[in-house]
């Protein structure tokens, strides 16, 4: 019974004694296979092509003082939206914000591309060790063809976006709150709330009195969004709102069994 509750623990000295007797080369654990090297080289090549193309495109936007749609501010001028001078300054501030973001991206793209180019050079050295010269040349030729095709596809996409953004600047519709050149969009009029006959006039008047007693314009409307000032009950002597038709009930028929004796 006592042996079942005994424990055993290796000491640090015993652990070191056991491990020091292990002999063998372990560099293979950190050496990627040839297939892994090829996959990683292709991945880094694709990333380098994409980032390089993105870099030169953003640089061209900045040189032409344009902002691509994806980097334009979505903030709208809610206050003073009818004032052209206010909207003009609002747009200029938004332009500065977006152009600084473009410059920030360009700065870090340059750093990342430089790092990737160093990684590619290191991997080419590793591939030259893992492959014979013919295999290495064939692999690099195939990879170059793939990168050329990828670059052409991405150039087509960026070219169409460039033309789209160029049209935005020609028409003056740079930001989504600009309906047309020079004049900010007008706010849509607030529609009247629909009549709700489920709430009594007494309750509506009570809510109106409560909101008036607070003295704050923020509390002018009840939480449920209903209009507290309308006629919302139909009864004797109550005003019937427009659109609500009256209904005449049919005469009640009393059976013989229900007639008073």
The per-residue DSSP string of 179-229 comes to -BTTBPPPPPPPPPPPP-TTS-HHHHHHHHHHHHHH--GGGSS-TT---TT
Tell me, yes or no, whether 17 lies in a domain.
no
Tell me, yes or no, whether 196 lies in a domain.
no
Mind listing the pLDDT tens digit for each residue in 73-107? 888 888 888 888 998 999 899 999 999 999 999 99
Q: Residue 31: what pLDDT?
A: 74
Global pTM value: 0.58
Give 14's contacts (C-beta < 8 A, 6+ positions apart): none
Tell me, yes or no, whether 154 lies in a domain.
yes
Mind listing the pLDDT tens digit for each residue in 24-75? 887 777 777 888 999 999 999 999 999 999 999 999 999 999 999 989 888 8
Report how many domains make up the chain: 1
Give the pair of three-digit tokens for residue 116: 């990737």
Tell me, yes or no, whether 100 lies in a domain.
yes
Tell me, yes or no, whether 77 lies in a domain.
yes
Give the pair of three-digit tokens for residue 170: 């020609």
Residue 192 pLDDT class (50, 70, 90 cuts): low
Tell me, yes or no, whether 125 lies in a domain.
yes
Mind listing the pLDDT tens digit for each residue in 117-128? 999 999 999 898
Tell me, yes or no, whether 188 lies in a domain.
no
Tell me, yes or no, whether 180 lies in a domain.
no
Give the percent of the chain with pLDDT over 70.
67
Domain span at residue 139?
32-171
Instruction: Assess contact for 99 and 64: CB atoms under 8 A.
Output: no
Query: How does DSSP classify residue 254?
Result: P
149-174: average pLDDT = 92
């Amino acid at each position: 019974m006592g042996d079942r509750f005994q424990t055993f623990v290796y000491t640090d000295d015993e652990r070191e004694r056991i491990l020091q007797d292990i002999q063998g080369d372990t560099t293979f654990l950190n050496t990627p296979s040839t297939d892994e090297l090829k996959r990683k080289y292709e991945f880094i090549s694709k990333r380098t092509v994409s980032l390089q193309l993105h870099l030169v495109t953003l640089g061209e936007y900045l040189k032409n003082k344009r902002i691509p749609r994806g980097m334009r501010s979505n903030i709208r001028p809610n206050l003073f939206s009818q004032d052209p001078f206010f909207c003009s300054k609002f747009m200029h501030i938004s332009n500065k914000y977006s152009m600084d973001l473009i410059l920030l991206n360009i700065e870090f793209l340059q750093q990342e591309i430089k790092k990737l180019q160093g990684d590619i050079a290191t991997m080419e050295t590793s591939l030259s060790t893992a492959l014979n010269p013919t295999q290495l040349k064939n692999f690099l030729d195939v990879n170059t063809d793939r990168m050329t095709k990828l670059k052409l596809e991405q150039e087509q996409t960026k070219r169409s976006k460039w033309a789209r953004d160029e049209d935005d600047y020609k028409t003056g519709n740079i930001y989504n709150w600009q309906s047309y050149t020079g004049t900010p969009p007008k706010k849509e009029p607030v529609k009247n709330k629909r009549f709700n006959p489920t709430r009594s006039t007494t309750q509506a008047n009570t809510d109106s009195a409560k909101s008036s007693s607070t003295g704050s314009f923020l509390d002018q409307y009840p939480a449920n969004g209903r209009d507290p000032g309308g006629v919302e009950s139909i009864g004797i002597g109550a005003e019937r709102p427009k659109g609500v038709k009256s209904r005449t009930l049919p005469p009640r028929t009393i059976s013989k069994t229900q007639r008073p004796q």
